[in-house]
Amino acid sequence: MSLLYLRLQLTLPSNSLLFVRTFRQPQRSTGPKSQIGEFRVLQLTQSKTNRNGSMKKRIKPKFKEVQPPRYLRMSTDQDWTNVWPTATTFKQSVVPLPITQGYVASVKENKGLPLEKYANAELMKIPNFFHLTPNHIKKHCAAIKKYCTPWPEQLDSDEACEYYLPIQITTNDYLNSTPSIRDSRARVIKFNFKLTQLQFDEHARDKFIRLAGQRYNANTDELTLVAD
């Protein structure tokens, strides 16, 4: 705002003064944004233009085409040992069988039928035996055959085996349809042999039987030791 002192020499008296008030409006700049002092202008939102003022090109995401399940492309005479060579979690896209698994709480749930193999967590939690088919076992035996020795010709009967190999060790393996394949009963190991194989005299035999107690079976002449 400024004040101008004008002396009008018109109809006004010569000794009169007229005060005029003027206003100056700021003009908007059409150029690039100016910087305020030493700092750049903070932009909270991401600009869609480059530094030179041109528009950025939108990058479209690329999605991979979902392949159909493998069992739809498998032939009926394909070697299953190549499809499922080792123990692994159940894969519904590989197994060409209509397998169902799960508990149905009511008839309204899934029409009273167990869940199919697609996206079935119950089939993934339990162990499967697709890697232990007869063809798998044949391949395993053929692979370890070169490390095995031939069976002794002298062991042609059970009596000969008991005579030359008197000690018998028994272990148990348990397979469960649970999330864990461990079973505490598999820790139990049974160790038995006939007492006549030790070739004791009467004094040593009597002392050994007294020390064995209930572990010795007088009917079969066998001593059984159980370890856990």
The rounded distance, in Å, linking the Cα atoms of 95 and 91 is: 7
Helical H segments across the chain, by residue range: 80-83, 121-125, 134-144, 158-164, 202-212
Instruction: Convert the pLDDT of each residue in 9-64 to its tens digit.
Output: 445 555 555 555 555 655 555 555 555 567 777 767 665 666 666 666 677 888 88
Residues 223 and 163 in one domain: yes
Q: Say yes or no to pLDDT of 182 above 70.
A: yes
pTM: 0.51
Range of the domain at 182: 154-227
Query: Which range among 19-33, 61-75, 123-137 shows the weakest confidence by mean pLDDT?
Result: 19-33
Average pLDDT, the chain: 81
Kindly list the distances between the CA atom of residue 177 and the CA atoms of 28, 61, 123, 128, in Å, as whole numbers in the listed order.
78, 43, 10, 9
Mean pLDDT of 145-161: 90
Lowest mean pLDDT, pick from 41-55, 128-142, 153-167, 204-218: 41-55
Give percent above pLDDT 90 in the chain: 40
How many domains are there within the chain? 2
Q: In terms of domains, do 138 and 84 share one?
A: yes
Domain-embedded: residue 181: yes
- Judge whether 9 lies within some domain: no
- Asked whether residue 58 is domain-assigned, the answer is no
